[in-house]
Chains A and B, each alone.
Chain A
Amino acid sequence: MKLRSLPFRPFRRAAQVGIALLFAVIPFLNRQGMTFLAGNFFYFEAAGAPLADPLSTLQVALGAFSLTPSAGLGAGLVLLLALLMGPVFCAWICPYGLFSELAHGIASACGRGAKKTAADASVPFPSFAPKAFLVCAGLPAVLFFAPVPLLNYLSMPGWYALVMQHIAFYGEILPGALAFISVLLAVESLSGRRLWCLYLCPQSVLISLAAAVLPGRLRVRFNGKSCICRGPENPCRGRCSLGLDPRAVQRKSRLYCVNCGDCIDACREKGGALNFAFGKAERLRSKSS
């Protein structure tokens, strides 16, 4: 089997589950004195190499007028990853993304969500405005009103890692955080839409904006000449858990596509019109649209 014909999804799931498990195990390792991996989704160090949540770092910079080299470098590396590879953090790394996808899978199995709405033009297109508003309101609040990293309270991967740290360090859970995550997942599974990731996650804003800077970054490329789907048939859109139309991903979907590769897997059985590629997005030339 050629490597190119392998589906992305098993690899992505392995990465998501592996990272979720890693952040559950790291605090226990730390308690045993092994600190070569330490931290959480706000700041993490692997053998001295820093990775930091860019939004968290920006809030500290605004609230305390301070940017330390380690936090600045860590945030820079995360933004550089987004700059070159797109918002892969959301699809391949974020543990909340994993739980949200699982909730969406349950919703789809029950007849709600993307499968039902894939060809339904009345489904509202995701809007970047609510999460952009949260960031635009949160950052001045940090600067002028409450100089604490307020938007960290809205970090779902942050809460996940904090829950794991509390279990390992003190043998206690964070009931409030668990309830917050559970209610969100319940709402998402009932609505069939990944509401938090699409509309509210402030942590994804800077990552998405960084991903929008470089035209030549990794993205889903659509080759209209190879598309064999006609009319309402569009398995690629049906597979996208965010409800995007991958055939238009170089247009208005570009801020939302997280390079998960699910649409490419779906299209592979239907002519292979979608694929990952570096470079400027091509013009849409679809026979079906």
Chain B
Amino acid sequence: MPPFLRPPGVRSEKDLQSRCISCGRCVAVCNYACLELTPDYFFFGGGTPKIFQRKSPCFLCMKCVAVCPTEALRPVPMTEAGMGLARIDKAKCVDYQRNAGVMCWTCYERCPLKGKAIILKNGYLPEITEHCVGCGVCEYVCPVTVVQVTPARHLPGSCA
């Protein structure tokens, strides 16, 4: 299975699996069709919502968290979505190549938390801050695929 994120507002992987009843309401309201109930129902946690960020990332519209009947997705603001943390491979990012002569900034421009989750260090170098919620938009838009989001369940200290 390709890398995937969980929707906004998930407390932990275990909590999501306990609460999610695969009603599909989050999928139904998602404007960007980024949420998927994968057809792996016969495994524990199957049929729970996933976001394949390289296919369609979350734009943090936060409609899904408002309709979840079991609060598997907590009604949190977009700044507390808690989906993961992005990381830029600076060795390969064109903005960091001195001789490339390119000012890409695509991740910065498209970030739903522009100026907060991604800032321009020294005015031109994109840098992820601690405010990143891991929506996956930067990974999706990066033209040289050097941005990668680590899902919250894989972050150190995660209680997944």
A169 to B39, CA, bound (A): 12
Question: A residues within 8 A CB of B17?
Answer: 147-148
A234 at the interface (CB under 8 A from B): no
**Min distance, Cβ B46 to any Cβ of chain A, angstroms:** 9
Contact-residue bracket for chain B: 20 to 34
How many A residues touch B, CB cutoff 8 Å?
42
Question: B residues within 8 A CB of A87?
Answer: none
Q: Which of B18, B24, B39 lies in contact with A40, CB distance below 8 A?
A: B24
Stretch at the interface among B67-75, B83-91, B127-135: B67-75
Stretch at the interface among A68-76, A112-120, A204-212, A255-263: A68-76
Q: In the complex, which residues 36-78 of chain A have their Cβ closer than 8 Å to any Cβ of chain B? A: 38-40, 42-45, 50, 52-53, 56-57, 59-60, 63-64, 66, 68, 70-71, 74
A74 to B25, CA, bound (A): 15
Stretch at the interface among A98-106, A171-179, A193-201: A171-179
In the complex formed, the residue of B with least CB distance to A166 is B39
Q: Would B69 and A166 count as touching, CB distance under 8 A?
A: no
- Check A174/B25 contact, CB under 8 A, given A64-B15, A71-B69: no
In the complex formed, the residue of B with least CB distance to A59 is B21
Q: Would B24 and A152 count as touching, CB distance under 8 A?
A: no
A31 to B21, CA, bound (A): 20
Q: Would A148 and B44 count as touching, CB distance under 8 A?
A: yes
A35 at the interface (CB under 8 A from B): yes
Q: Would B15 and A39 count as touching, CB distance under 8 A?
A: no
Question: B residues within 8 A CB of A176?
Answer: 39, 41-42
A27 at the interface (CB under 8 A from B): yes
Interface mask (B2-44 → A, CB under 8 Å = 1, otherwise 0): 0000000000001101111111110111010100110101101
- Check A172/B39 contact, CB under 8 A, given A42-B23, A70-B69: yes
Q: Would A148 and B45 count as touching, CB distance under 8 A?
A: yes
- Check A56/B42 contact, CB under 8 A, given A38-B29, A43-B69, A64-B15: no
Could you list 29 A-B pairs, sorted by A, with CB under 8 Å? A30-B28, A30-B29, A35-B67, A38-B25, A38-B29, A38-B67, A39-B25, A43-B21, A43-B69, A52-B69, A60-B19, A64-B15, A64-B70, A68-B71, A70-B69, A146-B44, A147-B17, A148-B18, A148-B45, A149-B21, A152-B22, A158-B22, A162-B24, A162-B47, A165-B24, A169-B33, A170-B36, A172-B39, A176-B42
- B residues with a Cβ closer than 8 A to A are 14-15, 17-25, 27-29, 31, 33, 36-37, 39, 41-42, 44-45, 47, 67, 69-71
Q: Which 9 A-B pairs have the closest CB atoms?
A: A30-B28, A43-B23, A63-B18, A64-B18, A42-B21, A147-B18, A70-B69, A64-B19, A43-B69
